[in-house]
Amino acid sequence: MSRKSRRRKIAFLVYAFLVSVILWQSFSLIKYTRSSGKIKGLKTFQVTVDGNVRRPGLYSVPEGTTQFEILKMAGVRPTSNLSSFNLSSQISENARLEVGTLDKPAGATLAARLEFYFGELNVISSDGRNRPVNDRMEITSGDRVLTEASTQAEISFGAFSRVDIDNYSELVFDKIGSLEDEKKVTELYQKSGLCWYTTMYTDSKNEVFRVFTHSAVVTVGGRNADYLIEVQNDIVQINLSDGLLLVERAGGGEAMNMISGQSVTIYKDGRPFQVSRLTAEVSANERFSRLSSEKVKHMKRLVPMNFLFCGVPPVFFLVSLQYESGNIFVVRIPPALLIEQFTQNISTLSEAFLFGGPSFVSTFVERIFDIRISNYAVLDKGDVLRIADILGGIPAVLDPKTAASLNVSSGQSRLSGTSLGLYLAGDADNGKRQTEVLKSIINEFRTRKAVLTAILADQILNGTETNITASEVMDLYTRFIERKGWEFRDRVMPIRMVERRSKVCYDPVLNDCKILLNSNE
């Protein structure tokens, strides 16, 4: 067998494994499919959803529908109160779900994080201690960040905002998402140097972002802004590329609204603001080009490719492809995982999925495991069956009783569609059939001389809620075949079982979670 053929088979095993895990985990909760109405004897229930949802009313759903699914169909509002629901429990006939209203909207606490840096960087806590510096470390209120010569750093705020810090700069993080008058307030004090801010509000009515300097206070208006602030001994220079800024003199007395394409110079001695047009020489991209270049090189060389897969009903698992070590880690994340320490009025990961979808869930998984989530995908039951059909069905050995229940012949058979759904849903032997299907898929790909193509990738992704494209899948495939000796490593998430409102939930053991993907044991 040629080296090229072996590489292709290794890469296909990786994709087979990912698809099989999706099938394995998602179908453990399935009792119906999109075509379930055709299954003899399967009941249809009438369910009423009232209260604070986007689409209240009467729903006709198949037997086995969970509270999570019906609430997802009804549409959760930011103020929907989900505390009384057991989202994994199934709906009964003529059930009525009454959704209450929260006093304050559900949301996530804002986090600042050191994404990347090169050179010599110091982070000093509010009590004067030097903190150990590493990529992905969380920056807390009161921290001072100081850069030395030939140093640049990038710090993120939440999901969309960031600040890039140039050399010989000092930035103090006074407040990070502090709740004041029902608004999340973030305030930084730029003592010296140059910083490039990209600020984007997720909710402009309830968020405030300010930068203080020795002579001016800068507040972001509108929904977003892209701007440079340079602080020297006696001068503050502000260059606004995009968005709106309110600029006020420290201590009051003068203020202006900046618009895109403006530059303002503020003197410490009290001279009036000097406003001019932004010149082409002022380029943040050029100033921080080395930071961007070094970051891309670092990510390509060392940073794992991490995927979050979400199933409906709620199933979550993290797949981490470690290019440096050749390990593929798979972590099952319980839907009832508690995330209360990162949120306001959101208890579990399932609730976060209802409030904000997969990208919202990703932000919590990132903080728990101290990683960056590159891509996500949501696969409902129809998606899983469609993927199985694309692969030509799943091989299984059926005993006479199982075959009769599926209305197929006993012995070796290829299952897809409704037959596959019923086969896995009928598993009463602690996941035995799921395990058999997992092995069958891997063995199927081992014996095939097949190559992942852009057409096949597009077929799998078509109709799937995801942020990865077919071309990106092909790039990933290329990286796979360049790496030999992939090893699969299952990881059990470190959790503690706790009870919340008479419901079983799981509290993540954060210190252990943060090192879970670093061990080869």
The predicted model scores a pTM of 0.69
Least confident of 16-30, 192-206, 233-247, 332-346: 16-30
Instruction: Assess whether 17 and 64 both reside in one domain.
Output: no
Instruction: Assess whether 407 and 370 both reside in one domain.
Output: yes
Instruction: Assess whether 88 and 234 both reside in one domain.
Output: no
Least confident of 28-42, 267-281, 335-349: 28-42
Q: Quick check: 444 pLDDT over 70?
A: no
Instruction: Compute the average pLDDT of residues 448-452.
Output: 49
Q: Quick check: 434 pLDDT over 90?
A: no
In a domain, 295, yes or no: no
Instruction: Assess whether 219 and 247 both reside in one domain.
Output: yes
Please report the sign of the dihedral spanned by the C-alpha atoms of residue 351, residue 63, residue 379, residue 498: positive
**Is-contact 423 402, C-beta < 8 A?**
yes
Instruction: Assess whether 66 and 136 both reside in one domain.
Output: no
pLDDT tens column, 481-491: 777 777 778 88
Instruction: Assess whether 326 and 465 both reside in one domain.
Output: yes
Q: How far apart are CA 364 and CA 513, in angstroms?
A: 12
In a domain, 167, yes or no: yes
Q: Quick check: 429 pLDDT over 60?
A: no
Instruction: Compute the average pLDDT of residues 93-115.
Output: 87
Long-range contacts, stretch 205-210, CB < 8 angstroms, 24+ apart: 206/105, 206/182, 207/183, 208/180, 208/183, 208/184, 209/157, 209/161, 210/185, 210/186
Residue 60's domain spans which residues? 36-101
Question: What is the total count of domains within the chain?
Answer: 3
Q: Which of 226, 253, 287 is the last residue of a domain?
A: 287
Instruction: Assess whether 147 and 256 both reside in one domain.
Output: yes
Least confident of 202-206, 432-436, 446-450: 446-450
Q: What is the CATH number of the domain that holds 243?
A: 2.60.120.1440
Report residue 431 as tokens.
């996941």
| Residues with Cβ within 8 Å of residue 496, at least 6 apart in sequence | 506, 507, 509
Instruction: Assess whether 23 and 42 both reside in one domain.
Output: no
pLDDT band for position 126 (50/70/90)?
Answer: very high
Instruction: Assess whether 131 and 248 both reside in one domain.
Output: yes
Please report the sign of the dihedral spanned by the C-alpha atoms of residue 404, residue 405, residue 407, residue 410: negative
Q: Which of 234, 254, 287 is the last residue of a domain?
A: 287
List helix spans (H) across 225-288: 284-287
Amino acid at 221: G
Instruction: Assess whether 248 and 370 both reside in one domain.
Output: no
Percent of the chain clearing pLDDT 90 (strictly above):
38
Least confident of 83-92, 355-364, 476-485: 476-485
In terms of Cβ atoms closer than 10 Å to its own Cβ (0-12, 13-18, 19+), residue 109 is middle
Query: 318: how many CB neighbours lie within 10 A of its CB?
Result: 24
In a domain, 452, yes or no: yes
Report residue 150 as tokens.
């030939």
Q: Quick check: 476 pLDDT over 80?
A: no
Q: How far apart are CA 434 and CA 21, in angstroms?
A: 9
pLDDT band for position 447 (50/70/90)?
Answer: very low
Q: How far apart are CA 407 and CA 328, in angstroms?
A: 38
| pLDDT score recorded for residue 188 | 97
In a domain, 273, yes or no: yes
Instruction: Assess whether 61 and 155 both reside in one domain.
Output: no
Q: How far apart are CA 409 and CA 398, in angstroms?
A: 8
In a domain, 225, yes or no: yes
Query: 458: how many CB neighbours lie within 10 A of its CB?
Result: 14
In a domain, 396, yes or no: yes
Q: Which of 253, 287, 321 is the last residue of a domain?
A: 287
Least confident of 14-23, 140-149, 233-242, 488-497: 14-23
Q: What is the CATH number of the domain that holds 370?
A: 3.40.630.190
In a domain, 292, yes or no: no
Residue 104: φ, ψ to 5°:
-130, 150
Ranges assigned E (strand) in 326-398: 327-333, 343-344, 375-380, 394-398
Q: How far apart are CA 188 and CA 167, in angstroms?
A: 17
Q: Quick check: 197 pLDDT over 60?
A: yes
Instruction: Assess whether 386 and 458 both reside in one domain.
Output: yes
In a domain, 408, yes or no: yes
